[in-house]
Amino acid sequence: MVVNDDEAVREAICFVLRLEGLEVCAHADATSALACPELPAAHCLVLGDHPPVQDGCELLRLLRARNAAAPAILLAGRVTPVLRARAGVAGMAMVLEKPLLDNTLVEAVLAAVEDT
């Protein structure tokens, strides 16, 4: 499951994950993701972090409350020690800084999916 408010980023992420043969459902915002009936079956959550519109750590808390137990990867434009600490407390499996280089995201998602 991909949740990112930037349409171009969301579509690009979905494209590369589908190339790997993964089924992907994408959402532009927390409301849509939280209403998704497939949420509990997700094997990996890829969450954007664009405060104040979309705080990835808060979104993960809400998703967990809806029985989303999958590993979560946070994508952020600027990763600081404070953000890494918040993400760790929230239960993120990984924090990746944009721009994403090489196959970093694909490799992280595939590793997360293998672990579930």
Distance CA 96, CA 56 (A): 12
DSSP 39: G
The structure tokens 């808390």 sit at 61
Residue 53: the pLDDT is 72
User: 71: cis peptide before it, omega within 30°?
Assistant: no
Per-residue confidence (pLDDT) for residue 81, from 0 to 100: 96
List the chain domain ranges: 1-42, 71-108
Please report which helix (H) or strand (E) contains residue 109, including its range: helix 104-115
What predicted TM-score, i.e. pTM, was given to this entire model?
Answer: 0.93
For CA atoms 95, 101, 105, 111, give the dihedral sign. Answer: negative
Task: Tell me the pLDDT tens digit for each residue of 46-84.
Answer: 999 987 677 899 999 999 999 899 999 999 999 999 999
Over residues 79-100, the mean pLDDT reads 94
Check pLDDT > 90 for residue 34. yes
The 8-class DSSP code of residue 47 comes to: E
**Which pLDDT score is estimated for 115?**
77
